[in-house]
Amino acid sequence: MLIERAQILKKGFKKSDKVISDVSDFGSLSRFFEAIISETLFSFKMISEDVFLCGIYVARLLADIGSESPKSWYAIDFILEGNETGNPMATKNGADVCFLLCSLFQERAEHRSMTIKDYQKYGVGLYYQYYSSTDRVIGKHMSDNFGAMTEVTQKSVAQLLEQ
């Protein structure tokens, strides 16, 4: 079912100048990113339920970042918030920031004493911690596929910028 969805999305959004003008709301922006990511997953021959679920998650994350920036770009802020409040959403938000830094904003990841490898390690751990505290399987999938989805996202965005 997920593969069928990816193929439908891929066919629905043709690469053209018209595509950007067709993206008018969050739902269509999310579907647009999902189509591009699905296309990249197919080209990398990464065809499994867990990576397609990650693709959907990342597409929504990219659409979100297009309308609202994270309240902090420092993973430690979310780790501290999660520890203080016990709120698993803080952990997920920290993992999302790590993912965005590793996939889209690598130069920012090499800021201060942190490196991109630190953010990769924290992102994997925070997604798994989110899964452990909520039983939401997307946390496990994103933890297991963090590196691969980072590459897929980088390639997808690069293809988008080439248009």
In the chain, what percentage of residues exceed pLDDT 70? 82
In the chain, what percentage of residues exceed pLDDT 90? 55
Q: What is the pLDDT of residue 114?
A: 83
CB 109 within 8 A of CB 102: yes
What is the arithmetic mean of pLDDT over 47-55? Answer: 92
Confidence of residue 151 (pLDDT cuts 50, 70, 90): very high
What SS3 state is found at 101?
helix
Domain borders along the chain are 2-68+151-162, 75-147
Confidence of residue 16 (pLDDT cuts 50, 70, 90): very low
Q: How far is CA 48 from the centre of its chain?
A: 17
3-state helix, strand, coil in the chain (%, to 5): 80, 0, 20
Backbone torsions φ then ψ of 134, nearest 5 degrees: -125, -15
Other CB atoms within 10 A of residue 17 CB: 7
pLDDT tens, residue by residue, 69-125: 899 988 899 999 999 999 999 999 999 999 999 999 887 777 777 889 999 999 999
Q: Among 62, 46, 39, 51, which Cα is nearest to 155's? A: 39
What is the arithmetic mean of pLDDT over 146-163? Answer: 90
Q: Among 21, 17, 23, which Cα is nearest to 9's? A: 23
